[in-house]
Structure 1
Amino acid sequence: MNSLTLLWVFIGAGLATFLIRLSFIAVEGRVRLPAWFRTALQFVPAAMLSALIAPDLLMRGGELYVSPLNARLVAGLVAIVIAARTRSIGWTIVGGMAALLAMETLI
């Protein structure tokens, strides 16, 4: 793939992303969305974040790897517990990274 083709791919992807986001902003106030749809939209960020993180925690080499020896899974669970107890992003990151480093050092 030459660089000009790649440039057009980037421009097209950027334009598509922009138009999708603009569509929600442009119709705000003009279109009344159903209550169930507005309620469902509240869960989109958490669902997207989960979809991005879960494969990294649960998969190794394309296969499911649920084990106490899976350092990333253990660190993720530690981070979830810290987040639930402290509600602090900073402590969640520090605790999760400390757990990950400790597990990788021990394994």
Structure 2
Amino acid sequence: MHVTFNLKASFIPPFITINAPAETPELQHLATNISQLTNSQLIAGISPRGTRELVPVNQIIRIHTDAKHVVMETKATSYTLTQRIYQLKQLLPSDLFLQLSSGELGTV
């Protein structure tokens, strides 16, 4: 695969374009991987063991309130967060998370 940089000061934010004769499953997989790599935002949470861990945003399934605590769920475990739901809504990518109620954010 040939990689070319087309640099221009007006490209803010930067973006990636894939040029090909047709969209294939391999190219769609490449696009997904690029998106996950470039959007690898991390959220800090407290694990059930009491340790502070950084969790990639793409592993989060949902964030909700439970007994006055904000809880972040992944497939593997749940974490307690220090941020409030409204703060997380502003912090997380809107194309990945949707506010389901005043106390819950879910993945799209």
What TM-score does the superposition give when structure 1 sets the normalisation length?
0.30
What TM-score does the superposition give when structure 2 sets the normalisation length?
0.30
Larger Rg: 1
Higher strand proportion: 2
Higher helix proportion: 1
